Structure 1
Amino acid sequence: MGKRLWSVLGILLCVSLVPSAVYANIDNLSNMSAEWIRTGNRNAATDAADIVLYNPAGLTELSDGVHINISNQTLIRKPEHSFDVGTGPQHYEQDSPDYLLPNFYASWNKESWSLFGGIYIPGGGATVDYPEGSITTQLAGMAVLASPADPDLPPGFDTMDDVYNGFTNDSLEASSIYLTTTLGGAYKINEKISVAAGVRCIYAKNTVEAELTLNDLTDDAEVVNGLQPGSIPETTNLVIDSESDAGGFGGILGVNFNATDKLNLALNYQTRVKLDFETDVNRDDLGMFTEGEKNRRDFPAFLGLGAGYDISEKLYTEVNWSYWFQKDADWGEDGAGRDISDMAGDAWSAGATLAYKVTPTFQVSGGTTYTKFEWDDINGYYNANLGSIEVLYSDNWHVGVGCAWEFKENFKLNLSVAQTIWDDETIAQNVDPGTVDVETENETTVIAIGLDMAF
């Protein structure tokens, strides 16, 4: 590959690598309680305080008093990708698990009323950790080599690849967390219908740290050092340390309908939250971030529908359908002026669960959920969001199992384990005059523990 390719890659990277695009961000998480991990479906549930999130109107079905639900998840994620940009086949994968993804929900019930609140993470919550580099650091290194050299160098050193033959020690670590607080109330209109309304406040913070070292002086640079020892450093270390944050508010509406003694139907709608991320640059040796720059990436609106049915006193089943209105969110534009959210398209999921009471105090359950991304232009989206390949989200299956043990009256322990497998994707990374195919795959194991209490 010649210098023209490196130059194009450099331009592409500088235009596309905006602060909102290089973080471990997924905007449609559903795994926000230990109960959901073992069932995959909670939109119509009425048995624990985690429904503050999934079915807030159903909180009126809980007993009078205070209900508290806490849980934590450990995510063992394994996204990996392979490619060849002309320097030979390369393979990179996630290095470390995410040990903490906590959630907290509470409600206070009195007769027909319920007041509720919660703290949870509906997006992000993971860390991109590639200590040996990734496709993003490879493109960054190519961009650096194509960039202008120090003007103080002798004639003939026009670009950095006139000084160095390559780079090494590239690494990438990025994180994203959408910390959300919700407050609201639910009211039972009659024995059949309950309604809920509330507000959610999202504070999102993204960080990125990247590093690479230019090395292997060219013959011309060696000659200069021979004439003027030490005039050109043997290596040059380059670092990026940047972060961005944003905050916004949205509304919550819910309806719970006891159709029969055995059938419960529920609806939960959460509005879009406007998020305008502002960049704070601690260090940027590559010039890819701008202090104070703002980049829009809204949190999309959500609609959840559920139907729960008591097959018998011991056996319960539930089916869910959820929809994320990603196209209505503002995620900015790519270098060609196209809406990034339009390229992503909307997303939806459907699933079912079975739960069986082995004894009055011990329940086992299992469930599955299939999530579909309605991509309009998957290649365009990933090219406009360099850094997303390291996370990878695509159509996937979630399968979870677990148990709930009421070890003391009104104190229930939840233990869950689940596996999510994403469809493999081949992303065509734009490289003039063509593309480089990036082969991706991903799977995640989740282990969750939670406690549901009533007082």
Structure 2
Amino acid sequence: MYLKEWTFKKMSSGVLLLGLSGAAYGASIDHIQNYTPEYNANPAQQGAVNPGTSQYYNPAGLMQIENGRYFQIGAQLATGREEMKYRGDTYDADLVDIIPNISYIDKNDRRAWYWTLGGIAGGGYLEYDNGVPGLEMVAPIMESVPGVKDAQLTENSDEGGNHYIQTTLGRAWFITEKVSVSAAGRVVYGERTLKTKFAGDLKSVTGRTQHLEGSIDSERTAWGYGGVFGLNYRATENLNIGMRYDTKINMNFEADADEEMADIRLPGPGNINLPLGVSTFFPQYGDGNESRRDLPAILALGASY
């Protein structure tokens, strides 16, 4: 959803009549493509020449805009409802999040410097008051453990966020009057958080019932580095073709977590003690755990007429 955008720039003449664009990249549920509010109105931004969007989608095309300095602030409001079902029960949460974007361009006849700051991946922040199916599945698993007769989850609440922010600094320049290229460096910071509380009752084969409680407050963070390379061809006065390649960004997330484990006591020789927590089933959230979740490379090609 478009929220608001402020742009301080020279107004360039011309009307975009037709836009075509496409992107190819490896599988990733984290990547987003709506870097600016304009994308929501017209996703065909890759081949366009526009001081409001080219710094994100077609940086080499910046050599085709008028000389000057351009500063832009924008924001998008992401809203929605996430819903999951398990054994007839519904688990849902409302999504409300803001995606900001800031950019600056300094363009003259010889070159164009540009800088951007904003979201590149992620899914916002969600709070499930009645928990998620992942923990509900633990009870049937525990019932298969020798010595356990019955397991019931009585409390389950989860909240978490998934945000990636990028900053890119680059330059574009002419190769010929019709061909321009660009190169930039990019830094990405990723943060994935999870807060979970659970409680349940465990009944052993001896008839003893234990009340169990556990929680985790985990923050997984990572830094990544990459590049952005572009090529723009002004075929005619009206036809423009743009290409952009974003390199793969390695993201090695490390978890910093405070976790309270439930201590399960099972009948048997020596009375077996079994610690049980969120990280038992989702180890990537456990304190000190390192796990890779890379952002894949993107090759985008588009044309505008």
Question: TM-score normalised to the size of structure 1?
Answer: 0.53
Name the structure 2 match of 1:247. 223
Aligned-partner Cα distance in 2 for 1:142–1:60: 61
- Alignment of 1:168 with 2:154, yes or no, is yes
Match of 2:3 in 1: none
Aligned CA distance change for structure 1 residues 40 and 301 (closer, same or farther; 3 Å): same
Q: How does 1:283-362 map to 2 (within 5 A)?
A: 283-285=259-261, 286=277, 287-288=279-280, 289=283, 290-309=286-305
Q: Is the 8 A contact 2:97 2:125 kept in 1?
A: no
Partner of 1:115: 113
Of 184, 202, 215, which aligns to 1:198?
184
Distance apart, 1:299 and its partner CA = 0.9
CA contact (8 A) 2:128 2:159 kept: yes
Residues of 1 paired with 2:75 and 2:135: CA distance?
32
**Structure 1 residues 69 and 142: CA distance shift in structure 2, 3 A:** farther
1:151 is matched with none
Partner of 1:81: 84
Match of 1:8 in 2: none
Shift in CA distance, 284/291, structure 1 to aligned 2, threshold 3 Å: same
Per the normalisation by structure 2, the TM-score is: 0.77
Find the counterpart in structure 1 of residue 91 from structure 2.
Answer: 92
Counterpart amino acid of residue 225 in structure 2: F
Partner of 2:208: 221
Map of 2:30 onto structure 1: 27
The total of aligned residue pairs comes to 257
Deviation at 1:276, TM superposition (A): 1.2
Shift of 1:140: 3.6
**1:277-332, Cα deviation, whole Å (9 max, x unpaired):** 112122252043443221112110001111000xxxxxxxxxxxxxxxxxxxxxxx
Structure 1 counterpart of 2:266: none
Task: Output the aligned Cα RMSD.
Answer: 2.3
Structure 1 unaligned spans of 5+: 1-24, 149-157, 223-231, 310-455
Higher helix share: 1
Name the SS for the 1:37 alignment partner: helix
SS across alignment from 2:165: strand
* Identical positions, percent: 28
The 8 Å contact of residues 75 and 100 in structure 2, kept in 1 or not, is answered as yes
Q: What is the DSSP-based 3-state SS (H/G/I as helix, E as strand, rest coil) of the residue aligned with 2:98?
A: coil
Which residue of the partner structure matches residue 179 of structure 1? 165
Distance 2:85 2:110 in 1: 57
Q: Structure 1 residues 245, 146: CA separation in 2 closer, same or farther (over 3 Å shift)?
A: farther
- Give 3-state SS (helix, strand or coil) of 1:58's partner: helix
Offset at residue 274 of structure 1 (A) = 1.1
Distance in 1, Cα, partners of 2:251 & 2:202: 43
CA deviation profile, 1:238-265 (whole Å, cap 9, x unmatched): 2122121111211111011110011000
Structure 2: stretches of 5+ with no match in the other structure: 1-27, 262-276
1:208 deviates by 1.1
Listed as ranges, the matches of 1:20-59 within 5 Å are 26-59=29-62
Say which structure is richer in strand. 2
